[in-house]
C-alpha cells in the first residue's frame, strides 16, 4: 500500500466525538447568547449531532453532560441516537454549578459535600451502564483563591480518596478519563492543574484511569505535543478535548488559533500509536456567536486536515535526517507535510465514503438550519445558564 493509500485508509477510520453542550446556547461568563433553532432536549441535540455525522462521516458518537442531559429513560435516549445513526459517547460529570461546591467538590473540606460530589460521579457511572458508554470524563473546578485558604496536601488526599471510590465502581470495559486545567475558576491553587498531577493520580488508580489533554488548557508556550508524546509512551493518554484559545481557556473552534500546533500534536498521535480507538478524539467547544452546527462541522474538518497532514509526513526521510543530525532537513520534512494542501485528498476520501466533498456546503443545502428554526418554537432552549 502506498503512503497516500495508507493515509486515505486511516482517514476513513477516524472518529471525532462531538459534545452535546456545543449544540445548546452558550456565551461568556457574563452572558449566554440565544440562537434560533437551538435544541430544547437531549433528543434534539442528538438530532443535530446526527447531521454533523451525516455530512462528515467521522462523528459517530455524542458526549453527554450530566445534569444538562438528564432524562428519565437513558435506554430510550440511546435508542434515539441509534435511530439517527449515532451513538452515545463519554459521560461528563458536573461538580461546578452547585452552591455547595463553592469551596470545592470532592476536595471540599466538609465530608458531606465530598459525599454529595462522589455520589454524583457514581450516578454518572450508573448512566454509563444504561447508555453503554465506556468513558467517564472528569473535570474538577476545585481549588483555592488565597494562600492558607485550605491545606494543599490535604486536598490532594481527598481527591485521591474520591477518585478511588469511583474507580472501584467502574465496570468491565469502562474507564475514567481525568482532565486537568491550570487555572479558572481557582486562582491560587487548582487541585488538578497539570498533566503531571493528573498522571500521578491515574497511575496510582490503575489501568482504567487515563489522562485527557484539553488543547486549550495550558499556559502560553506550553509544548503540548511533548505532553502527548510522553503520555502515549507511558500508555496513559486516554483522549483529547479539542478546542483553541488565544489567551486563556476560550473553548474556540479547534485549529482556529494555531493550526500548526494541532498538526504537531496529531503527528505525535500518529507517531506514538495513538491513532486508535484507545485514544478518544473529542471536541470541547462552545459556539457563542457563530452558528453551531456549521461550526462543529468545520471543527471536525480542521481535525481531519491536521490528521491528513500528519499522516503524509515522510517518516523514513524524517528518521534519516534525525539520525544524521540534519537539523534543517528534518524540519523541512515536517514543513513539507504541513504546507501540503490536503483539501483535495479529503475531498477524494469523502467521495469514496459516499459523502459530499464539501460538508459545509452540503449542510447548508440540506435545509436543516431552516427546518429547526421553524419547528423548534417554544419551550426552554438547552444551555448552561449564566
pLDDT per position as a tens digit, 72-113 = 999 999 999 999 999 999 999 999 999 999 999 999 999 999
- Going by C-alpha positions, the residue among 42, 80, 18 that lies closest to residue 381 is 42
Residue 105 covered by a domain: yes
> Which residues have a Cβ under 8 Å from the Cβ of 182 and sit 6 or more positions away?
190, 193, 194, 217, 218, 219
Query: Could you tell me if residue 224 is inside a domain?
Result: yes
Domain-embedded: residue 89:
yes
Please state, in angstroms and as integers, the Cα–Cα distance from residue 108 to each residue in 89, 138, 186, following that order. Answer: 29, 16, 13
Residue 72's domain is classified under what CATH number?
Answer: 3.20.20.150
Angle at 27 between CA 365 and CA 386, to 5 degrees: 135
Q: Could you give the 3-state DSSP secondary structure of residue 135?
A: strand
| Mean pLDDT of the region 283-310 | 96
Mapped onto helix, strand or coil, the DSSP state of residue 127 is helix
pLDDT on residue 162: 98
Q: Please state, in angstroms and rounded to a whole number, the distance separating the CA atoms of residues 326 and 323.
A: 8
What is the distance between the alpha carbons of residues 284 and 19, in angstroms, rounded to a whole number? 6
Cell 500500500 -> residue = 1
Q: How many domains does the chain have?
A: 1
Instruction: Decide: helix, strand or coil at residue 17.
Output: strand
Dihedral angle sign, alpha carbons of residues 102, 103, 108, 113: negative
Rounded mean pLDDT, 322-344:
98
386 within domain boundaries: no
Domain that holds residue 343: 3-375
The span from the CA of 369 to the CA of 46, in Å, is: 15
Domain annotation covers residue 370? yes
Q: Are 230 and 265 in contact (CB under 8 A)?
A: no
| The predicted structure's pLDDT at residue 1 | 67
CA distance 312 to 200: 34
96 within domain boundaries: yes
What is the mean pLDDT of the segment spanning 250-271? 95
Write down the pTM of the prediction: 0.95
Strand partners, 211: 178, 237
Crossing angle of helices 359-366 and 292-311, rounded to 10°: 160
Q: Residue 188: inside a domain, yes or no?
A: yes
Q: What is the pLDDT of residues 134-151, one digit of tens each?
A: 999 999 999 999 999 999
The C-alpha atoms of residue 261 and residue 264 are separated, in whole angstroms, by 5
pLDDT at 386 over 60: no
Cα–Cα nearest to 78, from 57, 59, 62, 102: 62
In a domain, 382, yes or no: no
Helix (H) or strand (E) holding 143, with range, is: strand 143-144
Strands 143-144 and 16-19: unpaired
pLDDT at position 355 over 60: yes
Amino acid at each position: 500500500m502506498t503512503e497516500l493509500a495508507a493515509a486515505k485508509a486511516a482517514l476513513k477510520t477516524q472518529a471525532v466525538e462531538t459534545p452535546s453542550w456545543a449544540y445548546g446556547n452558550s456565551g461568556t461568563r457574563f452572558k449566554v447568547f440565544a440562537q434560533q433553532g437551538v435544541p430544547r432536549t437531549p433528543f434534539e441535540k442528538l438530532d443535530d449531532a446526527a447531521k454533523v455525522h451525516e455530512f462528515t462521516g467521522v462523528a459517530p458518537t455524542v458526549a453527554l453532560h450530566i445534569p444538562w442531559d438528564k432524562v428519565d429513560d437513558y435506554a430510550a435516549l440511546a435508542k434515539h441516537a441509534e435511530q439517527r445513526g449515532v451513538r452515545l459517547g463519554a459521560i461528563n460529570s458536573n461538580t461546578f454549578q452547585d452552591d455547595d461546591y463553592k469551596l470545592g467538590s470532592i476536595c471540599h473540606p466538609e465530608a458531606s459535600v465530598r459525599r454529595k460530589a462522589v455520589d454524583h460521579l457514581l450516578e454518572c457511572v450508573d448512566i454509563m451502564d444504561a447508555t453503554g458508554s465506556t468513558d467517564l470524563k472528569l473535570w474538577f473546578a476545585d481549588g483555592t483563591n488565597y494562600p492558607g485558604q485550605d491545606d494543599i496536601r490535604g486536598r490532594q488526599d481527598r481527591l485521591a480518596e474520591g477518585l478511588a471510590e469511583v474507580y472501584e465502581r467502574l465496570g468491565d470495559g469502562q474507564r475514567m478519563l481525568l482532565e486537568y486545567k491550570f487555572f479558572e475558576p481557582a486562582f491560587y491553587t487548582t487541585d488538578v492543574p497539570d498533566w503531571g498531577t493528573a498522571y500521578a493520580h491515574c497511575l496510582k488508580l490503575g489501568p482504567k484511569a487515563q489522562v485527557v489533554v484539553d488543547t486549550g488548557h495550558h499556559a502560553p508556550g506550553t509544548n503540548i505535543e511533548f505532553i502527548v508524546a510522553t503520555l502515549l509512551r507511558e500508555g496513559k493518554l486516554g483522549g483529547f478535548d479539542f478546542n483553541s484559545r488565544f489567551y486563556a481557556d476560550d473553548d474556540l473552534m479547534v485549529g482556529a488559533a494555531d493550526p500548526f500546533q494541532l498538526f504537531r500534536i496529531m503527528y505525535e498521535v500518529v507517531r506514538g500509536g495513538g491513532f486508535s480507538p484507545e485514544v478518544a478524539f473529542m471536541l470541547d467547544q462552545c459556539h457563542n456567536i457563530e452558528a453551531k452546527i456549521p461550526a462543529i462541522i468545520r471543527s471536525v474538518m480542521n481535525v481531519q486536515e491536521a490528521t491528513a497532514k500528519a499522516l503524509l509526513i515522510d517518516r523514513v526521510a524524517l528518521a534519516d535526517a534525525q539520525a544524521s543530525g540534519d537539523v534543517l532537513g528534518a524540519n523541512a520534512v515536517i514543513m513539507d507535510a504541513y504546507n501540503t494542501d490536503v483539501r483535495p485528498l479529503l475531498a477524494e476520501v469523502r467521495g469514496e465514503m459516499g459523502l459530499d466533498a464539501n460538508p459545509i456546503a452540503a449542510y447548508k443545502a440540506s435545509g436543516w438550519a431552516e427546518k429547526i428554526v421553524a419547528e423548534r418554537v417554544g419551550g426552554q432552549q438547552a444551555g448552561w445558564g449564566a
